[in-house]
A and B are shown apart, each in its own frame.
Chain A
Amino acid sequence: MGNLVHLIVAHFLSAMFIMAVWLSVAGLITGILFGAIKLEEPFTMLTPVRIMLGIIYYLIIALVYYLMVYNQNFKERVENEAKTEAKYREAELNTLKAQINPHFIFNSLNSISALTISDPETAQEMIVKLSEFFRMTLKKDNAQFAKLSEEIRFSRLYFEIEKIRFKDKLEYIIECDEKYGAFLIPHLIIQPLLENAIKHGVQESITTVCVKLECTTTNDHLVLKLTNAFDSESEASGEGIGLKNVRDRLRLIYNRSDLMEVEIIDNQYVAVLKIPLS
């Protein structure tokens, strides 16, 4: 309310000021143009017209001013929105980034606990591997991309740790040429696929399961393929939260929804990731 009164008073005063300036300027101009000729008469006659013109001039000035202010605000708002959007996307991407399964953490710790009694050397080895594994998940916390070579190393560590847990039940093959090592891929993007293969392939099986990770390239993509035997009898195949996160994350990063494919061929679960080479 106070603001409104303030605004009206301000406008009134500036209108008065503009009016005074305008009237005197107009008077001056008439004086110069028409000189001494009937000075009194046209002046009085023209005054109402001049006041009207003054009001219109003032309104135009005010309008232009408000338009400029509005335009400025609008630009700022758009900028802010873009900033918030970027922040939101980043936050979303971070939550989508592989979340290490608590089952994995506690079961691994339990294996170590058992090994400290039966096989202290392997226990020590596993602690080192687990530490290295967690260090890799922490180090890159804010980076969205990592080198393929690092991600492969990470996958190998994960397999090695799970191998201690599952012993002969798990076999793994990693076929990835070193020449692809420098390619950048989303950090921890393979992890949920590995976890999925362990959970549904290895954990649900009572015989040896081989998990295979392969890297190849096409003209414009790096292709990561994970294959594991899958007992379709023991569980319905669905796309778990882990795989859904991978899909969502790829879509947010590359703006494409066709970068992950999952299919079951002859009791083999095959997950394929295509990473665009930019």
Chain B
Amino acid sequence: MIWPTAFGMKKYTVIIVDDETPARDIVKSFLSAHDQFEVINEADNGFDGCVRINKNKPDLVFLDVQMPKLTGIEMLDLLEKPVPFIIFSTAYDQFAVQAFEKNALDYLLKPYNKERFNTAIKKFLSVQKDTGFTDVQSDDLLKGLQKIEEKLNRIPVRSGSKIHILKLNEIHYIEAQDDYIKIYSQKGNFLKQQTMKFMEEHLPAETFVRIHRSYILNINFLNQLEVYERQGYTAITTENQKLPVSRQGAVKLKKAIQME
């Protein structure tokens, strides 16, 4: 959204998300030299940041990577499309920096000087004139960033404008749906753009078992395992959901619940 001002000049709207007050201050201070920008909101944690970005739809976001509640990386996953142009900032994340470099976004390594800040602003202005920050770019960046995460210990999801952070022990099972996964949990069911392979690799294997090409089950929610026809089993969850279990899946499942 570009705001007309009293002088008839268009202003770019900006949101700053960083958990440290001095870090937000320096962005504001450096930005005050550029008349065409207006800081419309700030947040000191990822959760609020995400809600405010989705609500205010700014043109530009300054986003810190390491933050409470939700990291900058988790946030990127939850932003409504089209994702605003994001300038990341980080103090020391070598791997994140690699991901930023590859995906042609700008990032600021803390501490940075005015000159470096202005370069980032110039980059934003030049990109604005062309195509903007595309969905493909943001997806690529996200993929690059997610690779560096080792194990998941929470899954942030979005339904409409609401954001939920699912704890692993709240998740019953995960179902594949084309390019998405559907997470069935105590807090409801959520769609998320992610692959089953990623989930299988990043969830703790002792609790989450890939029982089928299309299903990952949290074994704490397994109620019964029924023989189904000749080759397969059906898993019945504590919520009485019936899930198919492949032959391979049955072997893994029995191992996980120590039947063998």
A interface residues, Cβ below 8 angstroms from B: 102-103, 105-107, 109-115, 117-118, 164-167, 203-206, 233-236
Contact = CB atoms under 8 A, between A and B. Distances in A.
Interface in B9-60: 19-23, 25-26, 29, 44-45, 47
Given A107-B110, A204-B68, A234-B68, A102 B22 contact: no
A263 to B, nearest CB: 19
Nearest to B48: A206
21 contacts: A102-B92, A103-B66, A103-B92, A106-B91, A106-B92, A107-B91, A110-B23, A110-B26, A111-B20, A113-B110, A113-B113, A114-B25, A115-B22, A117-B25, A117-B26, A117-B29, A164-B22, A165-B20, A167-B21, A206-B68, A236-B153
Which size class do B's interface residues fall under? 20 to 34
Nearest to B30: A117
Given A106-B92, A113-B111, A203 B19 contact: yes
Which are the 4 A-B pairs with shortest beta-carbon distances?
A106-B91, A114-B26, A110-B110, A114-B22
A210 to B, nearest CB: 16
Interface of B: 19-23, 25-26, 29, 44-45, 47, 66-69, 91-92, 109-113, 153-154, 165, 167-168
Contact of B44 (A103, A113, A164, A206): A206
A215 to B, nearest CB: 29
Contacts of B91: 102-103, 105-107, 110
A138 B76 CA distance: 40
Contacts, number: 73
Contacts of B154: 234-235
Contacts of A117: 25-26, 29
Given A105-B92, A234-B154, 11 more contacts: A102-B91, A106-B91, A109-B110, A110-B23, A111-B23, A113-B113, A114-B22, A204-B68, A204-B69, A234-B68, A234-B69
A206 B67 CA distance: 10
B21 to A, nearest CB: 5
Contacts of B21: 167
B64 to A, nearest CB: 10
Given A102-B91, A103-B92, A106-B111, A203 B68 contact: yes
Nearest to A115: B22
A165 B68 contact: no
Contacts of B44: 206
Of A112, A117, A235, most buried by chain B (CB within 10 Å of CB) is: A117
Nearest to A236: B153
A118 B153 contact: no
A206 B47 CA distance: 10
B69 A206 contact: yes
Nearest to A207: B68
Nearest to B43: A206
